[in-house]
Amino acid sequence: MNLLTRWASCGPRTILHLLSISSFFLKILVLKQFFLTFLRIYPILTLSRESGEKSGREHLLDSKHDPDGKSKVKSMFNRNSSKNQSALSLPSRHADGFVTAEAKGKYLKPILCIAESEGLRDVRLEAYRYTRLGEEITLRCSYDLEAGTLYAVKWYRGVEEFYRFIPKELRPKQVFPGTGISVDYFRSDDHHVLLRNASFETSGKYKCSVSIEGNFQTISDSKEITVVVIGYDAPSLVLRDLHYEPGSPGEATCRMHRTSPPVNMTWFINNEEVTKRVITRTEPDEEDDRISSTISVIYFTLPTSSYGPTFIKCRATLYDIYADASITRIQPRIPSSNSNSRKVLEVPNSLQHSSAQIVGFHISTPVLLMLTQSVLKCTLEQV
């Protein structure tokens, strides 16, 4: 009330006088701001004008020496190069990064804005591309703060945040719920996040986002992670028959139980890959249709002219997380000497009811059989 009373007692002239004084000071402030802005942009305008005049003089000199205008391209190149040179010419600076006094007088204050900025860089997310179902996943976010101060590290799967680290808060670590994500609170920090008991829902695109204080510069990096189902055992390899003869056909079956996705099967015979006469199929699991078993069958023929061993190998791979093989050896059967001797000593039935006369003697059939067997046996032993 006292202030209003004083304003009312002053009269209209006094109020107008005060308003005119206020507008005068306002104009002074505007002129001051304009002058400061002019001081900032004047060196840049001067450099641009000097470079333009220099390029113009070069153009006139070129036109005198080349009145036909054949060196137009050359003059344009000189003009552009002079602009680039003037733009790239920087004042001398000390080793500590500050501009010298001489440079300050020549380029004034705007050149002080040209300085090497130090901040966040080299943000990189490190993790295995594939991991097994039920195992742990270790996520690592590496970064270089240089002279900056860490403000926050935030972790996302897709667009959902599940972990945050802010060092200056009362509780630096914060965990947010998410489907298929179970963060180990005590084993996670500003660089690492550990996820327990990976499931199919854990798969996705993960991102770490790092921010520093001051200008709140933020840099992120992301990586795709997939959860697979695969054991540690080698695939099972089974032959259809136990014994093979040279040149006989054969069949082998390779099986890999309960994987997701299905494994890749490759066959080798004597270390040479075989792609023909191979049939591969999958059988879904009865409990989980996302899991299946892979069965591959190969049909082959053993060499006819060799009794050497044949090696059959089945190799199963899944991305870069699994690779193992099973191998079996096939040794063709060689006819035994006992079976040959039995065949040689067999006497035709016609000799059992007949007789022979050797050197004028009449020999009965039993005696002839005994002599024949003895002679053959001696011959085989000598051989």
Lowest-confidence segment of 55-69, 269-283, 308-322 by average pLDDT: 55-69
Mean pLDDT of 16-33: 75
Q: Which of 69, 93, 113 is the last residue of a domain?
A: 113
Q: Are residues 248 and 199 in the same domain?
A: no
User: Is the overall model pTM greater than 0.75, yes or no?
Assistant: no
Full domain range(s) for residue 272: 236-330
Provide the pLDDT for residue 57.
Answer: 52
Q: Are residues 355 and 318 in the same domain?
A: no
- H/E stretch holding 189: none
Lowest-confidence segment of 176-185, 285-294, 313-322, 325-334 by average pLDDT: 325-334
Q: Are residues 243 and 220 in the same domain?
A: no
Q: Are residues 209 and 157 in the same domain?
A: yes
Whether 314 and 233 have beta carbons less than 8 Å apart is answered as no
Q: Is residue 173 part of a domain?
A: yes
Q: Is residue 6 part of a domain?
A: no
| Intra-chain end-to-end CA distance of the chain, in Å | 143
Question: Which is more confidently placed, 129 or 86?
Answer: 129
Q: Which of 330, 349, 371 is the last residue of a domain?
A: 330
Mean pLDDT of 86-93: 39
CA torsion 158-160-162-166 (nearest 10°) is: 100
Look at phi and psi of residue 216 and say left if phi exceeds 0, alpha if psi is from -120 to 50, else beta: left
Q: Is residue 130 part of a domain?
A: yes
Q: Is residue 10 part of a domain?
A: no
Whether 62 and 74 have beta carbons less than 8 Å apart is answered as yes
We report the CATH number of the domain holding residue 246 as 2.60.40.10
Please tell me whether residue 266 adopts helix, strand or coil conformation.
Answer: strand
Gyration radius of the chain over CA positions: 47
Provide the pLDDT for residue 236.
Answer: 95
Q: Which residue has the tokens 């900025």?
A: 117
Q: Are residues 104 and 125 in the same domain?
A: no
Q: Are residues 140 and 205 in the same domain?
A: yes
> Is pLDDT of 198 > 60?
yes
Provide the pLDDT for residue 340.
Answer: 45
DSSP string, 309-374: -EEEEEEEEETTTEEEEEEEEE------HHHHHHHHH---GGGGG--EEETTEEE-HHHHHHHHHH
